[in-house]
Structures are given as C-alpha cells and as structure tokens.
Amino acid sequence: MPKIKHLFLSTRPQFFPGIMIPVALGASAAWHTHGKVHIPYFLISLIAATLFHAGMNVINDYFDFKNGTDNINQSALTPFTGGSRFIQSGLISPRETLVFGLSLLALGSLAGLYLSYAVNPLLLIIGSIGLFVGFFYSAPPIFLAGRGLGEAAVGLCFGVLTVLGAYLVQTNELGPHAFFSSIPMSFLIAALLYINEFPDYEADKTAGKRTLVVRLGVEKGRYGILVIIGGAYASIIVAAISGFLPLRSLIAILSIVAVIPGVLGLLKNYKGGPSLIPSIKSIILAHLSTGILLIISNII
C-alpha cells in the first residue's frame, strides 16, 4: 500500500486541475456552438488527458533525476517545485519511475486511440503532437525545457491542443471559438511554469538545464511574468471585441484580482524562498478561475 500511495503522489495530482479545466473548457465550447455534450466521450477525454498529464509529470521526475537537476536542488518549494522527490528519498527507484510514467502514457494513448476511432482520426494527430511535445519537454535529445522552450511547450499542450481536442471529440470538427478560448489558458499555464522556475534557478543553472529563467537571469526574468500574464488577458479582450468569443467572456478578466498579488510577489521575491509560495498559489488560482469563468460564459 505505501508503494501505491507513493506512485500516486509521484504523479503530482495537485496539478491535475491544470489539464481538467481545459478539457471542460473544450466541452463547454462545444455546448456553446452546438448545444450538446456527449458525456461518455467527455469522461474518456478527461481520463485520457489526466493520464497523459500524470505520465508526463512522472517522466519529468525521471529525466530531472538523470540530468541531476532534482538531485542538487536544495530550495524546492514542495509541492510546487523541485519534482516529487520520491527518487531522491529512495521511496521509488529510477527504473520504477520510468516504467510507471511510460505505463501512464500508454494507458492515456489507448483512451486517445479509442476516441480517434470512435470520433475523428484527427484526434490521433493532436494526441501524437501532445505526446511528442510532452515527452520531449524533459527527455533528451530534444529537451525543450532546457532549450528555453518549456513555456511554449506546456502552453501548447495544456492550452491549445487540449481545448481543441476536447472540442473535436464533442463536435467532430475544429472551430475558432475553441481556439480563441484556449489561448488565455495557454498563457496562464505557461505563467505557472515560469514562476515555478525561479525557486529552481540555482539548481537548474548548475545542472545545465537552461530554462527561460536561467537564460534571462532572475533579476531580468521577473519582468517576463508581465508579458505572459498580459498576453493572457489581452487575448480575452481582443477575442471578445472581435467577435471570436461572446462579449460575456469578458467576465474572465475578473480573475485578474487573483493574479495581481502573484505578479507583485514575484517582482519582489524573485530570488525564491518561502515568500514566493503565495505568488505561486496566486497564479494557480488565476488559471483555475479564468478557465471556470470562460466555461460559465460558454454555458450561460
């Protein structure tokens, strides 16, 4: 039983809402444009996406062990940064971590293959791109996170691809409403990854994991959060005014109340430490509340 518990916790389930909300957003977009939602397909989509997310988290732990990042990280703000630490604590072996991560990805792929067969083969392309980008986010030789492309990779997988895929499952087509709904989610999940890189800065730099924050440096890099967050809210305003989203989607801007403390906290506490924890929580809340408000705007 302890081993099962450790394996489950190694998936970092506290971050699962980061993928569940975009799946729900895609389904709500289908409700907005077509007036219906296929509940069994929605549940399968949710399971597939969550399995993919869990598998990628576990695989990330394995490769961050291999490249030494998590091994030398002494300033992790668990449960937010520094990985699950189960390899470092000896509770799960590196081999068990790799096998478990690959198994989760395989199970997610089976669910995705079923949806591709039952609904639309285009789902196979979307899922394959997501699997490729998610795996090589941390895996060599591509190692997107180490090339400063982690934010773009996560934004693509947890925003655009997930929302479009969930919408396609429901409607058997792609549409602009789903695409423009996904953009703020892409920005906000990228912002969450970005702020999580500040506590890991020294360990990443020492291990040669050249994330975007490592490349910019923490002092200059702290202002990058303004660009990412600005992109999220600008995308909502532009899409609503231009008619790609209904005007009531502007209610999602209310989540800026949650994000402001996080941005201000990072600008002040960019060197990391416990004082950054409330800022990370703030970005998480902003991501969740924005997604929920967009979902509400779709189903009203």
Domain boundaries, the chain: 2-299
Q: What is the per-residue DSSP string for 174-213?
A: --HHHHHHHHHHHHHHHHHHHHHTTTTHHHHHHHT---HH
pLDDT mean across residues, the chain: 92
| pLDDT tens per residue across span 16-50 | 999 999 999 999 999 999 999 999 999 999 999 99
Q: What is the per-residue DSSP string for 70-138?
A: HHH-----TTTSS---TTTTTSS-HHHHHHHHHHHHHHHHHHHHHHHHHT-THHHHHHHHHHHHHHTTT
Per-residue pLDDT at 56 exceeds 80: yes
Phi, psi values for residue 177, rounded to 5°: -60, -45
Residue 246 DSSP SS3: coil
Per-residue pLDDT at 82 exceeds 70: no
pLDDT for residue 23: 98
pLDDT for residue 71: 62
CATH class of 2-299: mainly alpha
How many Cβ atoms are within 10 Å of 110's Cβ, its own excluded?
A: 11
pLDDT for residue 285: 96
77 alpha-carbon distance from chain centroid: 18
| pLDDT tens per residue across span 98-157 | 999 999 999 999 999 999 999 999 999 999 999 999 999 999 999 999 999 999 999 999
| pLDDT tens per residue across span 191-234 | 999 999 998 888 888 888 899 999 999 999 999 999 999 999 99
| Residues, the chain | 300
